[in-house]
Structure 1
Amino acid sequence: MRTSRNLQARRDGVSRPAMGAVTGVIIGRMPPSPPPDARLYRWRFGTVEFDEARHELRVAGLAVDIEHKPLQVLSVLLRHVGEVVTKEELFDQVWTGRITVDHVLATAIGKLRKALDAAGEDRIATVPRVGYRLDGPVERVAQGQRLGTALSFAAGQPVPGREHFLLERPLGRTLGSEVWLARQPRSRDARVFKFSVGGERLAAIKREATLMRVLRDTLGERDDFVRVLDWNFETEPYFLECEYGGQALPDWAAGHGALGWDRARKLAFFLQVAAAVDAAHGVGVLHKDIKPDNVLVRARQDERWQPCLTDFGNSRLLQPERLAELGITGMGMTVTTAGSDSSGTPLYLAPELVAGQPATVRSDVYALGVLLYQWLVGDLRRPMAPGWERDIDDPLLVEDIGRATDGDPARRLGSVADLIDRLSSLPQRRARDDEQQAAARHAQHAQRALERTRARRPWIIASFALLSAGLLASSLFWYRSEQQRQSAAMQAARAEAVTRFLSDDLIGALSPGGAGFERDPTVRQMLEQAGAPLAARFSQDPAVRGGIHAALGDAWRTLGDRERAASHLRQAVQDYGRAFGVDDEQTLVTRYGLVRTLAYAGTRESFTEAERQLREADRLAGRTRLEGRNVVALYAAIARGQFHFQQLEIEPSLVAHRRADALQRALRPDDASMAALIRSNIADALLRSGKAEEAVPLLQQVLADPLLDAKRIGESTVAGYRVMLARALRNMGRYAEALPIAQTAAATTERILGPDDYTTLVQLSLVASIHDYADDCPKALPIARTVRERMAKRYGEERQATLIETGNLGFKEYACGDRQAGLDYLRQAEGGLRRHFGQDNVAAHSFRYALAGHLATEGRYDDALEMVDGLSVPALTAGDSTPGWEHRLQALRGQILMQSGRTQEGRPLLIAAVAALGELGTSEEDEMVAWRRLLGGTGAAGN
């Protein structure tokens, strides 16, 4: 928690004679009077009006956009109008309890003067080396009463608004703000409550609540952040309720002997703290107040210690627009205090902050570097004074701390990830340094031996001079190429690690005599074998580790295991982010690949995460994905197309895939796999949009394209194209052509991927549907039952794919004679899709539309109308972009009403709908025939 200083202000109110609630009083210079004034006023002078109750400054009736701190300074000056208020008094009353730097007061005064100068009111005078004075006269009007500036809590009291918790002990106090530890008497559960009566401290705890939601919604629940559980910002005293994160680092370290730990243990602990800061930076949150008191420590279940980063009340969100993207209300984010970037504890303030520059990632790195120094020397209060290097006996750590705390931010480490990488690779760096020092000692020894022979062998002098000249030239080249040497060393180490991974961990384990050989491994077992040793083998090389995780993710996705694929791709995104940056091209491409994989997974949770990852990738990519002809734009278009397609949002999917197609042809014309993916989705979208006549020539072109030959893209991919061609032919009524194409493709896929693979089952479902369209129930029904059974067994009853196949089976059961079973399956599919994937799920509305018609056929008119009432035109249009869905719904309602005997209600609806659909020419012929027959003939629509 933040360390507090309970500073007593000299006076809190206006110096004035005793008076009642006087309004409209003109005030000149008045003698001082000690009693504090708890009232709030509206002040006027010239064209300026300042309302303390609303904390609003107006000039000539117009509100002035000015920060919180300058207005607090104005309030103090007004309450001592005509008097000199010293700098110390202003700091005590405006910045009470917050250690800050001198220039913030000058900044606040400057902003006030700028606002007042606009009104022609040059009222604020500077008294050199003393303070400031606001000259009168001014008018004040009492507006209300403020709470006392000190909260009055005592141990044992119930928490206001949380009476089942009792206050136990204070953890920190400032003027108008207190932090308490509270416990539930029976369970002994601990909570921390941060109380405030208003003002800046209220804004701080609101800001903390907002930023902790950003961290949680973006990063998930993490043990290295203190969780915010609840808050009360409605009634005073306001508070923030947090979990108990443990003792502050200084208290915990003193009580558990941690300051005496060995260096390796200290570094491991510090890296946990740095990882939390790095994670916050990764989602755009600067902490801005990193110090020992804001690191809490608690015991974990495995009896290890868990550091937790806390107190985000002074933090900053680098991209505030993300709040809207995440659906988070920006509490406390609209008040930016004057000089807020330079408030904090001076020991940990980066020099650029003291100079008035804004906080950046590098200023947090500076504070973290100071904390590292203090932690290693075992003194969490020691400043980094000149000569601090003598306290650290490891040259590499001296270098790391120096790079983290460099006074020039341009030369400082650019990110916390850089510091983590340096500290994590200390053993390897130390080994390289030892080798270089050994080589230098050997060269020095050789030089001395050569010098000893100089007198005995004069001819050596010339050789030595020549050698020295060569050494000088080599030194210059060495100096210029040190970075290249280090890069080459890293690449050599990386190549060796990859070679060992392939030879020892993968090929060795799966070769004769290896641990995996005896099992006669399948492709899946080989991928499992490859993934197991990654963390250990490449612990110091996130770039290589990320590349292998990305490759494994793509492989598992191809094999249909979406969960494993997503797990590897999440890790790849994290590794690439650490290696290259979160907005690097490789990181963004991998994140877009993760979006595709999550969309394929087909669960409500995976769609939710896919949407979040897509928004995050788009935010990081910026306008590059929209305006550029680049790889990021290409992968962004593919991901967006797949995200929409898997939710059966066909029109936006088609738009995105067509953009991807144009980019692929321009940027990756020879990438067969990518071309296959994009064109297959375009063809599929055309089919689902009822445009089979467009899909057939496209698919024929694809199958004839040499780029997409089976030898290049694989038999299973070509089988997928053939399946789509079969679907198109089925939709055009050419069943005899469609059936053998679909059967052959499904057999090929089953041979390659297995009988229970998702792709195999979807293709078998198509075979069943062709039989169904051809009215061959004895062949359609057994296949549909098998598909639904295998889908449920392999992927679960609640998966979107399983529920869709459940609905498809319902169609066939109903058509083939068991109508009740068909209705039950359709209800199960429709209800499950809405329950698990939202009320607007496209497939759910498609099944609901069919269910309404079938219920009407069964004479269950009330149930049918209830189904119609819950249908959504946008959802139906998203699943089938054919226009006229509002008219189809109207026609269906009219049909049901007429069938139920309510002809006067239903007939006008049906007549109007049939006429509108006839003009559009988009409704199916069977539907129109049935509706016209119900109306009494083809001409009835006009009656």
Structure 2
Amino acid sequence: MPQALPPPDDRVYRWRFGAVEFDEARHELRVSGLPVEAEPRPLQVLALLLRHVGEVVTKEELFESVWAGRVTVDHVLATAIGKLRKALDAGGESRIVTVPRIGYRFDGPVERIALGHRPSGELTFEPGQPVPGREHFLLERPLGQTLGSEVWLARQPRSREARVFKFGRGGERLSAIKREATLMRVLRDTLGEREDLVRVLDWNFETEPCFLECEYGGDSLVEWAAANAAFAGWDRDQRVDFFLQVACAVDAAHGVGVLHKDIKPANILVRQRHGGGWQACLTDFGSSRLLQPGRLAELGITGLGLTVTRPDAGSGGTPLYLAPELVAGQPPTVRSDLYALGVLLYQLLVGDLRRPMAPGWERDIDDPLLTGDISRATDGDPARRLGSVAELVERLSTLPQRRTDAQRRAGSARAAEQAQRALEQARARRPWIAATIGVLSIGLLASSLLWYRSERLREAAAMQAARAEAVSGFLSDDLLGALSPGGSGFERDPSVREVLELASDQVGRRFADDPATRGGVHAALGQAWRTLGDRERSVAHLREAERHYARAFGPADPLTLRTRYALVRTLAYSNTAAHIAEAGTLLEATDAEVGPRLQEDGELALEAAYARGVFHFQQLQVEPALEAYRRADRLQRKLRPDDAQMAANIRSNLADGTLRQGDLASAIAQLRAMLAEPLFDARRIGEGKVAGHRIMLARALRNLGQYDEALPLAEAAAAATGRILGPDDYTTLVQLSTVASIHDYAGRCEQALEIARVVRTRMAARYGEERQATLVETGNLGFKEYDCGDRETGLDYLRQAESGLRRHFGEDNVAAHSFRYALAKALAEEGRHAEGLRVLDGLNVASLTAGDSTPGWDQRLRALRGRLLLQSGETGAGRALLAEAVEALSALGSADPHEIASLQALLADVDAGQALASPSTPNGVPVPATAR
């Protein structure tokens, strides 16, 4: 993983390497003593690479340092690198190395001569001074210092229009205001213009002093409260209403994946609304964090200040508002922002914005409902807090109704007590019974209309309780009792599988006349069998659950539809061609039944997005899977913030998809955050799920070359999964395959080959030769046999995997195309050009891109075809294809530099009239995403 760049060096240098000399001070490049014309951006890239010779400089760091806040796209950097390479090539220097999907490295040796220092980074401003770069505004007064900037209020002298300028020069100060610009763009582009968020109007990150220009949102809450008598006169409801403005702004930010991390009165501005009243405005996102960096690409925003080497530089924040887990060093979450809001709510209610929440704070709040809400928001254990800010907003917004309900419940309790006493007196005085009944009847007739709805709810609750009692009896008497016929305790220790088998046999007999309960039991059994890895039985029970729910409630009932989506997920996971086809048909039919509800932010939309994500992901269709999972993630956070199992499944698949797209740094940041998130503690989601998160992190670290850290993670995850699910379970075997791949990447062929053979054998024995997972592991074993064992055996395994996947899962199967490309490449290396060309003819760019989104698949196919044509003797056509493809791949900047060098050497051999040589290395052969 690239290391974080050190603090900027304020010295400037003259650099020399070979025949090349570069003067930073003059921005002058010379080759063999002669000046070379070069544009400013490529020279700035060169300066940054030279300052980190031998180190990988990420694309994000290059964008942040060179393009400095201007919205741009990836090809701009690739173009600058291409121009730089062309300039250096004039001196025979080809030292810029592309690190695929990460960045670039400049290889030494170089020498440097210090020429002097850059100007000092101190900011010195005075009131009345024009704003540098915005001279029509004059600085009025400083507003204070924050983590990343010095903040001033400025005004236009004639119009008196106010602006706020946040200045920064270098280091963390500049990064903070860049980060704020980025995140405010995310908020604006996603949420639109909002009165409760301060707008960023412009910025200057190119010339010093750099600044962020914002609208003036009013005085800080601290200043406003001290100067405005209105605050002291607010009643409790007014204070809650004001707080809700702040909480809604935070909730909106959370909804698009932005944590504020520094919620406090100083970062809340107050201004008067045009129609009267006061508007709260949330500001200062300089310490904030973006939970899903992939959102930047979706919105076309460059991640300024959000480099991959800085997933989260400390918890930030102000001590009084820091949640306990942040003080303990854990990463910030939605619940840590919620904690700060709870403290703020307490301060607003007591009218003291500096008072800490000390033990006994509850005595300061005279409303038990508010006391409970604050307590739930600020619990020392984040797992016991409310699940989201939206939940706190909901509770506070319904305070009047909650108070009414509480009073009604208290009144009902008193009435019941009085009725009981009256009944006892009536029994003692029988002559008065008739009169008492008459009076009570009149009261009951009047109250029955008011309580009708409650009685209906009680009836539903009673029905559910009766069903729960029936299910409990079924489990305790029919199941455990049958497994313990003596009745005095277990005569043997039944396994979970035995209990489930007995339940599966008896559920139809026990609940024959109650389809609703029978559907519920079948649904629970389906989930249980899926957890145990028996997807065939899971599918059978979920089909029964859907059938009985439809009989009890109708085919369009939400419960029936949710069960159908659960069946889609299980069918997709089962990995057979028939089940995957059935899952696709059922998904489309269920979506059609749900209809317009798919566009709403409701439970069915969540289930639909989740099912679609699973369906596409199991077929390695990464882009549509990620699109579905992102929607599911947003809805889960909103609707089921405490559903740890669903959250873990969705977010782990998001991380997996990010990993498969090659964004290693983002995937690692997501996975480390998940492993530190209390919601995903093993006690809540199970050790097996945590093992799944660890194996993905191991894969990402493997892809970065950090094998020593990746291997123990992968081995521990596979051991834990094997202990829970068994050594031959699908998940265990896939994780063992990852262990084998780490050995393979690290050059330990013998260990890799031994594990790969075991995985393939066990997969075939447990699941059959024709399962997609077995065929993928067959192909993976083919890679390792080819690299480390018997090359001919390796080619045979690749042929088996490719043809089997196409035959059973369709011509467009992503894994089939990945293996087919690998086979064609291996055949080229073996000199079997005729067979290689036949294999190449069946490939298409769309399927290859679905498995590996790195740009340039059309060019890679043309390069491989050109190579095979050269080998077959068609020199003219082959060279033309190969030369054109190599030039295009080099310009992309994302191709494997070793592969480019190999192809360039082949062209040089052809031009020199030499015989074609087959490279012995298989480095360019990609492994299908399924094996990853």
- Normalising by the residue count of structure 2, what TM-score does the alignment of the two structures yield? 0.49
- Normalising by the residue count of structure 1, what TM-score does the alignment of the two structures yield? 0.49
* Structure of higher RCO (CA pairs closer than 8 Å, 6+ residues apart): 2
Bigger Cα Rg: 1
